[in-house]
Amino acid sequence: MSSSLQTIETAGFRTSAHQRRLLHLSQGGEAVSQLTAELDFGPDVAPDDAARLLNTHLEAVIDHHEMLRMKVEMAGDLGLVMQIPIGPGERGPLAARFNALPNGRVGIDMSAPPEVLDAESLAIILEQILEIWAGGTLEPQDLQYVDYSEYVVDAPEDPDCKTALADLEDLYAGKRRRVSLALSDG
């Protein structure tokens, strides 16, 4: 099984994570980073099974990234400061909601407080979830997990950091609003 990634641009311009957060707050919303995707698991996988498996893979991705794991644990310790609604009467540091779509695909909405993850990092994490789903393993990387917007602000003038940042921008450019992912046998 392999995954392919297709990015859909929803506007002719981009705003920073901070600008989107301010706009969201000005419209009465909570501060939250969001990613919406549609996943196609084929006719042999029921949406409930897909949701259960994706949640299991999400836990594996969190365990893989030391900084993310620390932020999730910190969110649990700090309570409401770094938590969002994740279900009826429940709050947590990362929400993943799944629903069956009329076209047979599974919709996924991932959200997190900006103190835990930014939207670009959610795209990275979703890609890694699909990597596990497709039978892959998460190999150690030079730059395992970063909060993208913090990294941009704090990136030193070191040439290695500039190269790593350029690689990130090339790899994750355009995944700011809506990402459509499709899985197929291959």
Q: Note the pLDDT tens digit of each residue in 168-185.
A: 555 544 433 233 333 333
Q: What's the CA gap between 140 and 112, in Å, rounded? A: 24
pLDDT in tens, the chain (186 residues): 332 222 323 344 444 555 555 555 555 555 667 777 777 776 777 767 777 777 778 778 877 777 777 777 776 666 555 666 666 777 777 777 777 777 777 777 777 777 777 777 777 788 888 788 777 776 654 444 444 445 555 555 555 555 555 555 555 444 332 333 333 333
88, with CB counted inside 10 A (0-12, 13-18, 19+), is exposed
